[in-house]
Amino acid sequence: DAKTTQPPSMDCAEGRAANLPCNHSTISGNEYVYWYRQIHSQGPQYIIHGLKNNETNEMASLIITEDRKSSTLILPHATLRDTAVYYCIVRAASGAGSYQLTFGKGTKLSVIP
């Protein structure tokens, strides 16, 4: 699986959009970009994933550059409950039923009132 690079921490004002970048310059053609977050003392939570196209769901939007070497997770209106560590993970889709996530250090997002 390709490695990812994320800033260690970011601040965001409550109500504003939080844009979390991720670099994955060695990503290969069959690898997906996944985002998870971990709120303090809880288990990680799936947010969104994508391959080439931009994706949006009820939690966030994922913008993937055309060359796929980087992506940005967007929380459109950050709330205090979005304070968490956000992990960007690159993972190949395999034929096996299981896959193992490799978590990096992530970005600690602090939403400030």
Partner 1 sequence: DTAVSQTPKYLVTQMGNDKSIKCEQNLGHDTMYWYKQDSKKFLKIMFSYNNKELIINETVPNRFSPKSPDKAHLNLHINSLELGDSAVYFCASSQRTGDRYEQYFGPGTRLTVT
Q: End-to-end distance of the chain based on CA atoms, in angstroms?
A: 37
Rounded to the nearest whole angstrom, what is the least distance from the CB of residue 46 to partner 1 in the complex? 4
Question: Which residue in this structure is represented by tokens 């304070």?
Answer: 83
Shorter beta-carbon distance to partner 1: residue 77 or 105? 105
Q: Does 39 bind partner 1 (CB under 8 A)?
A: no
- Using CB under 8 A, which of 8, 29, 41, 67 touches partner 1? 41
Q: Does 3 bind partner 1 (CB under 8 A)?
A: no
Q: How far is CA 112 from the centre of its chain?
A: 20
Q: Does 2 bind partner 1 (CB under 8 A)?
A: no
Q: Could you tell me the two tokens for 25?
A: 């310059």
Which residue type, as a one-letter code, is found at position 88? C
Q: Does 34 bind partner 1 (CB under 8 A)?
A: yes
Strand order in the sheet with 107-112: 9-13, 107-112, 84-92, 31-38, 45-50
What is the spatial distance between Cα 58 and Cα 46, in angstroms, rounded to a whole number? 12
The residue range among 16-24, 60-68, 71-79, 94-102 that interacts with partner 1, by the rule CB under 8 A, is 94-102
Report the interface residues with partner 1, using CB under 8 A. 32, 34, 38, 41-46, 49, 51, 85, 91, 93, 96-103, 105
